[in-house]
Amino acid sequence: MRTLVILGASGDLTGRLLLPGVGRLIASGRAPGITLVGAGNDDWNAQQWQGRLAESFADALAPGGASTKDGIKELKSVQKDSSYQQLDVTAKGALGKLLATVEGPVALYFALPPAISQKACEVLTKKDLPAGTRLVMEKPFGSSASSAHALNATLERLVPEDHIHRVDHFRGKSTVLNIMGLRFANRLLEPLWNGVHIEKVEIIFDEDLTLENRARYYDHAGAGRDMIQSHLLQVMAIMAMEPPATLGQEDVRSSIAAVLRCSTIGHPEKPDLAESTRRARYTKGSIGKRKVPDYVAEEGVDPANDTETLAEVEVYVNNWRWAGVPFVLRSGKALGRARKEAVVTYKPVPHLPAGFTGTDSPTRLHIGFGPDTLTLDLDVNGPGDLFTLDRVQLETALASDPLLPYGEVLEGVLTGDALLSVRGDTAEDCWRIVEPAFAAWKDGAVPMEEYTAGSAGPADWTTSND
């Protein structure tokens, strides 16, 4: 790619996540020769745009870390030459006019709400796009299975599927390759990676953050749409997929798609959504020294939206390997402990010889996401009485890329590698999986529970007591 054009350049996502990722990528020397162009609704002058870039690039421009001397020089040059243009992307011809002024091939990044992205793509034509253009779509990809299907059809009219990058920064290179390396390079693990030996798999993303001025988005999305529908289902698919022949994008993405196609919320023989899904909302409390109000009292929140701030669903992968094993996906805000990990719980041993005392706890494997860690919980003898079982943890750090997650994903965009991008059919399947749960929540079939901000969540949830 020669030019990166960011639509929605004056928005929160661009300043908070996207531009810092761009800065780290360029400063590491892994994106030479890139020109950066911003476009947005706000009437910003050159000074305001340069101020945003300076703030977003500050860490990457500091010596140390992954930044190199030549990379820092390159980033300073990119910043100096970068321009911003006020633009209504939904106006016919406006975006095409901008693209005619930049050097191709272009990576066109839609850092916009899905409805705006849909309208912008509908008014684009193939003639508007420089040869080799790649379209980069931010999540959420659509707002339902039908809208995701419509957006896919619109995009495929403009460029081929392998030139469409649907961003899920949870599918950063470190996350994907660490899980795959752990599973497929260790004979000790892969033969036991199935429903014969595994009791359940939990994928947890608990945050101690609250709304952080994102009520306009979050109060319409909630924990289910914000995290479970996209990020956590994608991680689940990597945890559950069959071994691909290669690490090429077609093999890996096809293995992920095969998992999602056969997945449903709730046990297929008794799909009771009141049993297999849970939702809750935080009430006032304290997180550290910070006082937190009731969620419904937060600025910008409309109580009529009935938005959950903590959600949990049990997904079943209905195939030979995983039949009957629940994949518990949980995400929430304003919790007392930040917890980002996948936990594999193995079934109990079929027989423990009489004479052992102490607690026979299940074997558990923890894969941490940011920091990337691996922890194995085992029962061993002692110390002291050799007949008493005690718990130990074997821990190690996993490899991680010094790039931020957005930098990892953008590197794939700029090099034309779609490995980390979500394929069109899987984006639709993710909506298909969760829509029955969202409908049940809207109808009140699943009650809205409450938890105190700063707590571990509702006390009767198993995941709150791990």
Read off the pLDDT of residues 68-106 as tens digits, 9 standing for 90 and up. 999 999 999 999 999 999 999 999 999 999 999 999 899
Q: Is 333 annotated as a binding residue?
A: yes
Confidence of residue 171 (pLDDT cuts 50, 70, 90): low
pLDDT of 44 over the 70 cut: yes
Q: Is 226 annotated as a binding residue?
A: yes
CATH no., domain 171-403+423-465: 3.30.360.10
Evaluate whether 3-138 and 171-403+423-465 have a shared fold: no
CA separation for the pair 260, 423 (Å, rounded): 11
- % of the chain beyond a pLDDT of 90: 73
Q: Is 89 annotated as a binding residue?
A: yes
Q: Is 78 annotated as a binding residue?
A: no
At residue 172, the pLDDT reads 67
CA separation for the pair 217, 206 (Å, rounded): 19
Give the count of beta carbons closer than 10 Å to the beta carbon of residue 96.
Answer: 14
Q: Is 139 annotated as a binding residue?
A: yes
pLDDT of 401 over the 90 cut: no
Mean pLDDT within 34-62: 94
Least confident of 57-61, 74-78, 166-170: 166-170
- State the virtual CA torsion across 400, 259, 164, 1 in degrees, nearest 10: 30
The rounded mean pLDDT for the chain is: 92
Q: Is 351 annotated as a binding residue?
A: no
Q: What is the pLDDT of residues 364-390, one digit of tens each?
A: 999 998 788 999 998 888 777 788 888
What is the crossing angle of helices 46-61 and 69-81, to 10°? Answer: 170
Query: What separation in angstroms does the CA of 420 have from each of 36, 189, 205?
Result: 22, 24, 20
Domain ranges in the chain are 3-138, 171-403+423-465
At residue 387, the pLDDT reads 84
Q: Is 122 annotated as a binding residue?
A: no
3-138 folds as Rossmann fold (3.40.50)
* Catalytically annotated residues: 231
Query: What separation in angstroms does the CA of 159 have from each of 67, 185, 416, 451?
Result: 34, 36, 13, 46
At residue 271, the pLDDT reads 78
At residue 302, the pLDDT reads 96
Confidence of residue 142 (pLDDT cuts 50, 70, 90): confident
Q: What is the pLDDT of residues 423-454, one digit of tens each?
A: 999 999 999 999 999 999 999 999 999 999 99
